[in-house]
Amino acid sequence: MKFGALFLGDPPWSRVVDLAKKAEEYGFDYVWTADSHILWMEPWLQYALIARETKRIKIGPLVTNPGTRDWSVVGSLMATLNEISDGRAVCGIGRGDSARRTIGQKPVSIGEWEKAIPVIKAIAEGREVQMNGATVQIPWASGHECEMWGAAYGPRALGVVGRQCDGFILQLADPDVLQWCRKTIDDAARVAGRASADVRTMISAPPYVITNESERKHAHSQLNWFAGSVANHVADMVNAHGADGLPPQLTDYIKGRPTYDYDYHGKPNNPLTDYIPSEINERFCVIGTVDDHIKKLKHLESLGVDVFTGYFIHDNIDETMKAYGEHIIPQFK
């Protein structure tokens, strides 16, 4: 299993670069930031700075979308980042949640998302593609690979991942939900003439290392924001298609939730997430001692998880990163 680290692009920008450098030193394989340009600083400028200050770690958004920017712009950004980083660019892509909603737009449709993914990948890799009746190809792109990792929860979006993506991003660490998602992805991949192994799996969730049980309640208070964010995506699916066929771990806890406020998106002090039960935090996040983390991650690895990306969005970032670098990541190398 490989490891990634996600940070929010809050000021100062130097903190993000320093954290990325530390992640590389600790043995992480990927460094990501969120691409939501109103809530946080513009990430693509940060990626260039990170690329110049690191040597090995892969860099990219978790996640961008094909609606905030033109598809050709996203492809060019990825190609440029690959040039700057000597082929270390990687792209997580979704339909656009906070990046779109904070400017008064809805996420792009499933159909548009599916069409955009292979076009962006082709442009980023310097290949010729048809767009709007024009032949488009970046002449200076040197042909570096651009991994496209699709973030999804619902059956239709999971089908797109199975048909179009190099990897699947599940933004929670629940083994049961993972297996449900992978079945839908594998079925879609098979119909498209692909193998299950063509689509790797990444679990993305907050890790929080504690030293004793008295710290667990505080850890939960720091991580409620995450399940609240997941609930927003799940509510969209339920409102559009109903809850039939979806895992109860996704749908039961969102009943009666308050209105979501994007001013608190990704913030541990979100006052609208007190309804999150501790059981959901334990299922969706990775909480506990070093040994607890190793045990859960080993289980996820046994289910086919290729990458675990930690969302370092809480008050224990430095200590948890250190524990991963010194004690947890070495167990998987």
pLDDT of residue 244: 85
pLDDT of residue 256: 81
Burial class of residue 97, CB neighbours in 10 A (0-12, 13-18, 19+): buried
Distance CA 60, CA 80 (A): 12
* pLDDT digits 0-9 by tens, 50-104: 999 999 999 999 999 999 999 999 999 999 999 999 999 999 999 999 999 999 9
Q: Which residue has the tokens 């193998």?
A: 195
pLDDT of residue 333: 86
What confidence tier does 171 reach under pLDDT thresholds 50, 70, 90?
A: very high
Beta bridge partners of 149: 92, 167
What confidence tier does 232 reach under pLDDT thresholds 50, 70, 90?
A: confident
pLDDT of residue 211: 96
pLDDT of residue 137: 98
Instruction: Please determine, for residue 243, whether its predicted confidence score (pLDDT) is greater than 90.
Output: no
Instruction: Tell me the whole-structure pTM to 2 decimals.
Output: 0.96
pLDDT of residue 30: 98
Mean pLDDT of 231-238: 86
- 17-36 burial, b at 16+ Cβ within 10 Å, e below that, comes to bebbbbbbebbbbbbbbbbb
Distance CA 76, CA 73 (A): 5
Instruction: Please determine, for residue 245, whether its predicted confidence score (pLDDT) is greater than 90.
Output: no
Domain ranges of the chain: 2-211+287-332, 212-286
Contacts 24+ apart (CB under 8 A), 228-236: 228/257, 228/260, 228/270, 228/272, 228/273, 228/276, 229/171, 229/265, 229/266, 230/153, 230/171, 230/172, 230/284, 231/257, 231/260, 231/276, 232/97, 232/260, 233/97, 233/153, 233/171, 234/153, 235/260, 236/107
**Dmax of the chain from CA atoms?**
62
pLDDT of residue 25: 98
Q: In a 3-state reduction of DSSP, which class is residue 22?
A: helix
What confidence tier does 242 reach under pLDDT thresholds 50, 70, 90?
A: confident
**What CATH number does the domain located at 2-211+287-332 have?**
3.20.20.30
**What mean pLDDT, rounded, does the chain reach?**
96
Looking only at the bridges linking them, the beta strands covering 167-170 and 129-131 are unpaired
| CB neighbourhood size of 325 (10 A) | 19
Beta bridge partners of 32: 6, 60
Decide: 163 and 266 in contact? Cβ < 8 Å: no
Find all residues with CB under 8 Å of 301, minimum gap 6, and list them.
Answer: 1, 332
Decide: 203 and 168 in contact? Cβ < 8 Å: no
Burial class of residue 244, CB neighbours in 10 A (0-12, 13-18, 19+): exposed
Instruction: Please determine, for residue 237, whether its predicted confidence score (pLDDT) is greater than 90.
Output: no
pLDDT of residue 281: 97
Instruction: Please determine, for residue 303, whether its predicted confidence score (pLDDT) is greater than 90.
Output: yes
Instruction: Please determine, for residue 138, whether its predicted confidence score (pLDDT) is greater than 90.
Output: yes
Decide: 331 and 294 in contact? Cβ < 8 Å: yes
